[in-house]
């Protein structure tokens, strides 16, 4: 127990140190008078629209999730899928280590009495398709970049980093996809190998692991239906084009007029930052958002910082308000959700 606590505290300390380093690079050389001025100059009516649109991607994600879940259980309500999605993001915003990635599927499994391993499998598929979709949209944008040269003209170094980041994302997602497909289609052999590896461990533990993995592979049944696969790919585009639309309106709210497609590389950068497991996405999101804004658009560091602070705070507050309302309705505390995530990685 003492060793486990020590490892936990070391992990948390490292995450906070990483957060501090990223925030240092985010805050350095800022003109705070300009930061506050840019935050105050936001257009009220458009900002209200931004507030209303903030939770929309949670709804589109919940709609998309149905295509992964229906192989195990049909008729899961949109509310249940939405509630699990919001709770997952709430945990990610409030706790370090991105426990929300585990809390989301485990909350749905708890609420709908489903196999934990199965729902965890669908979460992995979702993340892989998120990476694919983001990289695909970035690739399409870069291919037609000449059409937007007047509003998107980064220096060669930034352009190269963006291009290779997109390629790296595609390679990573492809490897992960091929890996889980191989594990699934050679399921019996995979389970036999894992069973042999678990022999030195206590029978209770090995049995629990085998059961969880068996359920996990069930979550990959989705790949057997070509129709569902196409629907899921199209809905993934809807999710991310909707996120692009949200940020496009954010730009207008801050007095910046850019083509809709020019938002794609910026959203790609924020997704990279948000993937860093810092508490509440703080630091990672902020640094990469500011980097994307200043590298891709004629925006000062201070204005970019003001926009980033406002948008991140808005997303955090809106998500957590909805998340706490759902937890209150369901009679579950954030501590219980946290334990669900922690128990899954022990």
Higher pLDDT among residues 333 and 235, named by residue: 235
CA–CA separation, 65 vs 80, rounded Å?
11
User: What is the pLDDT at residue 10?
Assistant: 66
Sign of CA dihedral 138, 120, 197, 190: negative
296, 261 contact by CB (below 8 A): no
For residue 298, give both structure tokens. Answer: 């004629």
Q: Which helix (H) or strand (E) holds 293?
A: helix 284-296
Sign of CA dihedral 259, 265, 266, 270: positive
Q: What is the pLDDT of residues 248-283, one digit of tens each?
A: 999 999 988 888 988 999 999 999 888 888 888 888
Pick from 9, 127, 16: which is nearest to 61 by CA? 127
User: What is the pLDDT at residue 345?
Assistant: 47
Q: What is the pLDDT of residues 43-91, one digit of tens each?
A: 999 999 999 999 999 999 999 999 889 888 888 999 999 999 999 999 8
60, 239 contact by CB (below 8 A): yes
CA–CA separation, 78 vs 112, rounded Å?
12
User: What is the pLDDT at residue 216?
Assistant: 72
Give Cα separations from 345 to 99, 124, 239 (angstroms): 9, 14, 28
Residue 235 has pLDDT above 60, yes or no: yes
Verdict on whether the full-model pTM lies above 0.95? no
């Amino acid at each position: 127990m003492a060793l486990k606590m020590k490892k936990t505290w070391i992990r948390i300390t490292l995450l906070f140190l990483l957060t501090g380093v990223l925030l240092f690079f985010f805050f350095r050389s800022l003109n705070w008078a300009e930061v506050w001025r840019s935050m105050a100059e936001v257009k009220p009516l458009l900002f209200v629209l931004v507030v209303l649109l903030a939770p929309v991607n949670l709804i589109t994600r919940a709609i998309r999730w149905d295509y992964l879940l229906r192989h195990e259980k049909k008729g899961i309500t949109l509310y249940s899928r939405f509630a699990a999605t919001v709770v997952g993001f709430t945990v990610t915003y409030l706790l370090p280590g991105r426990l929300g990635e585990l809390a989301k599927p485990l909350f749905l499994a708890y609420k709908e009495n489903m196999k934990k391993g199965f729902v965890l499998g669908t979460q992995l598929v979702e993340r892989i398709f998120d990476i694919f979709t983001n990289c695909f949209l970035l690739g399409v944008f870069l291919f037609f970049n000449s059409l937007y040269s007047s509003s998107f003209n980064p220096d060669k170094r930034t352009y190269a980093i963006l291009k290779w980041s997109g390629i790296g994302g595609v390679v990573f997602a492809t490897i992960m996809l091929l890996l889980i497909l191989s594990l699934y289609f050679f399921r019996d052999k995979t389970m036999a190998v894992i069973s042999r590896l678990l022999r030195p461990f206590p029978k209770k533990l090995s049995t629990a692991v085998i059961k969880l993995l068996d359920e996990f592979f069930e979550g990959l049944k989705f790949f057997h239906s070509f129709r569902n696969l196409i629907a899921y790919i199209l809905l993934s585009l809807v999710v991310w084009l909707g996120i692009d639309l949200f940020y496009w309106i954010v730009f207008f709210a801050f007095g910046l007029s850019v083509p809709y497609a020019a938002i794609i590389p910026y959203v790609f950068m924020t997704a990279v930052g948000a993937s860093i497991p810092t508490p509440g996405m703080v630091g990672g999101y902020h640094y990469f958002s500011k980097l994307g804004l200043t590298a891709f658009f004629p925006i000062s560091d201070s204005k970019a910082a003001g926009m980033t602070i406002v948008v991140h705070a808005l997303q955090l507050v809106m998500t957590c308000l909805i998340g706490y309302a759902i937890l209150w309705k369901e009679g579950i505390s954030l501590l219980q959700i946290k334990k669900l995530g922690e128990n899954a990685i022990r």
